[in-house]
Chains A and B, each alone.
Chain A
Amino acid sequence: MTDWSAFWLSIQVTLCGLAIAVAVGLPLAVLLALRRFPGRNLLEVLVTAPLVLPPTVLGYYVLVSVGRSSAIGRFWESLTGGPIVFSMTGCVLAATIAALPFVVKNSRSALEAVDPGLMEAAANLGAGFPRRLWTILLPLARRGIIGGCMLGFAKALGDFGVTLMVAGNIPGRTQTAPLAIYDHLLSGRDAQAQGLVLALTGLGILVLWLVNTWANPRPTDRRS
């Protein structure tokens, strides 16, 4: 009964968006956790603003900044031949914006929780920064980082407002699962919507459960 193409499109879009959010967000989290520099607070506020801004505000910013009459939009179109809006690129951008705050915030607190003494000891033993990052910091902070990624995934999978405004709702191309649910419900096809509703609910609950039990366990649950 349910048409799953929107669901699989959503999964693809979300994974792409999450990959970009990690590529951008993890270095930012390392920077925010380890370095003090002017504008540090402003940077963090900007990165995490999507958590508190209304989707319509975000969607408006995206339309204005990467729309077809914007400088970025025109540059992209001259480069790739297609616009960012009304394409899967637009959906991925929306997913990245949704996931980024979770990736940065959670990774940053996990990185800050790593005992600085360990980093100093390794430095005294002659380990350079890349090696300390790779062998001490990231492995010790991995639960928090992965937890942030999972929350980011769940949030990006459910993005509605920004995607609605920038992606054009084209079935099979830019119609993600939340948009498909909306269209099904408005057209009175509740049965079609139900499968997607259940799938998104299940995924969301699974992610939260994993984050609570594995990535971010309460002290009493922890075995070590």
Chain B
Amino acid sequence: MGVASGSPDRAGAVLGWALALAAALACAGFAQLVPSVAAGTAHEMVLPWAERLGVSLAFRLDGLSQVFALLITGFGAVIAVYAGSYLKGHRHLGRFFLYLGLFMIGMLGLVLADDLILMFVFWEVTTVASFLLIGFDHAKPEARRSAWQSLLITGAGGLALLAGLVLLGIAAGTTRISEILAIEGLTAHPLYPAILALVLLGAFTKSAQIPFHIWLPNAMAAPTPVSAYLHSATMVKAGVYLLARLHPALSGTEAWMWSLSLAGGVTMVMAAVLALRQSDLKLALAYTSVMALGSLVMFLGAEATIAIAAAFTFLIVHALYKAALFLTVGSIDHATGTREIARLGGLWRTMPMTAMAGVLAAGSMAGFPPFLGFIGKELKYEGALAIAEEPILLAAAAVLANALMVTLALSILFRVILGRKKPVGPDGPPRAPHESPVALWLGPLALASLGLVFGIAPDLVGATLVQPAVTAVTGAPQVVKLKLWHGVNVPLMMSFATVGIGLLGYIFHGALMRTLQRMPAVADRSWDALLGAIATSFSAISRAVQPGSLRIYLGVSFVVMAVLPLMALVGSGGLSLTMSDELDPVVVGAALLAIAGAILAAAAERRMAALGGLGAVGAGVAMLFVLYGAPDVAITQLMVDVMLIVLVASVMVRLPELRAIGQGRGINAAIAGLMGVAVAALTLAIAPGAVDSAVSADMAAASVPEAKGRNIVNVILVDFRALDTFGEIVVVAAAAIGALALIRMKPRRSPQGARP
């Protein structure tokens, strides 16, 4: 796996221990608050932030946040210790723990934030941290592809979520979550459909609901501790958290119920089926994570207390067994060099402690008594039966999904851990199995044992964690009793059915796997097709919009510049002209000079002649400026014209003669004429006294006393509006340096012409 050569990162190892310690202390801190939160207190902390936007750094710890906070910090400590051993000697250990710490902070902030905007910021932090961790082995192309895929999917969902949260903030009139949840009737707001669609898009992408699930199995390119932590126990549940958090405000409608139970139910069954086709243990676990996320989403679609209770019990169950299984697989991978089910067997002889963790976790996953998984499964069946609209369908889906979990658990138990020991070789493990270091089995063993302890004494989590969370989600005090033995009832019957189907699945697991593997992997391949289509269409657009010809760019710019103001002018009633009786012959002469120059420039056969024509236009216009009392502008105009001719003359030797352009010149002349008409018409429209002269009068009055200057133009440039001028000269200098780089750059002819 990720063990690269090179000098080991000692500082990184220290950072890992520091992170583990910090997470453990935070976990202890949250644990200390459990009794008060369970009693109904919400701990709040509010710091000022962007007051004008009504956004503050508001944090709130209630029953819902508490479950997640404990998961994040407790698992975080276990994972940090495990990763220190798993990635021992890795060159970038420090970088790894930095990313992991960033993720922990982001995730903790996400579940504690009591402000929509603040929550979104942390939401994005977890997306970025996940991207960095998936791409941790960035030398591998598939790691980079997976990281990129997860970033695009969850990032796009994040954008939708932002829009949804902003709309929600507008609809509610505040961004404080605790205030929003207290508002009645948000579901009747006209913005509600848009809010719901956007928020669901964010939650479904993050929590890998079909068809957005493709990134999660690919995210297994990350080191195994990351898969266990981010992509199973915590981050992918951010979407679930969001749905639970906004449940009081947004739930209770047909749209909510149908979209959640359908998306969740379909995801649950599909992912369970897809899990069976995987021969790689880690990938199989990844699909069971998708299945778990599907069932969590499905239960949150309901209103019934029992469904919510089922969701949170299962959330804890799943986090415990799935993280333990991931870490077990990581330990097996570490010791044997493979994760293929077919190449492993009889591991209990050589790695007893790892095997023990695996057995306990698989027992909880299969939902056998007396594990917490059994209670979770019974509650799931009860919850599914309680969902109002389609109880039979959903309950059947839950049975099927759970049966497939049983199949997988049995395969792990009887093929990987028990079973025949395989000799080292192409059909067996690449390396002789041996027990992993203590840090690699202690964590999973502890987590898996908790699944057993909580199963035997369910009150340890029932009243302290599940009940406060359910209370927070339903908005009313609830009593949740978790019991191992419910008596003989429908869920128990369904459990028997589950085990039966699961057993059948186990017997035919090999055949099922081969059959399923023959199905094409549609979803992931369509992702590549989608990206390819986007790239192709955008390069087509670029080719159409940016043909690379300066003439076309200038032509389009000028036409737009001319047509838009002309349309505005015509729309506002056109122009009425009155001819002056007497014409100053000098003015007429200057104008005629400019006109003659323009005609010459447009008609000239040689560039030098055209340039002379342009010069004549500049001189004529400058003369008009002098005649109408703007000597500064006149001098500038003249000088700019001189410099323009110098510049163009230096460039000219490299340009083709004007004749070579051919018929395009007619179009050029038409565009130039249009531009001239537009500017002239606008000038005439503005001229008759529509300009407010108060500003210029003020400046003229202040020029001498305040700025000690009699030339108002200059005073404005260097004093009154000096900051503007400063900005302009910075642009001039930057443009010159940029142009210098372009001139110095030798043209490279690529085979495809304009494309680099």
Query: A and B from one assembly?
Result: no
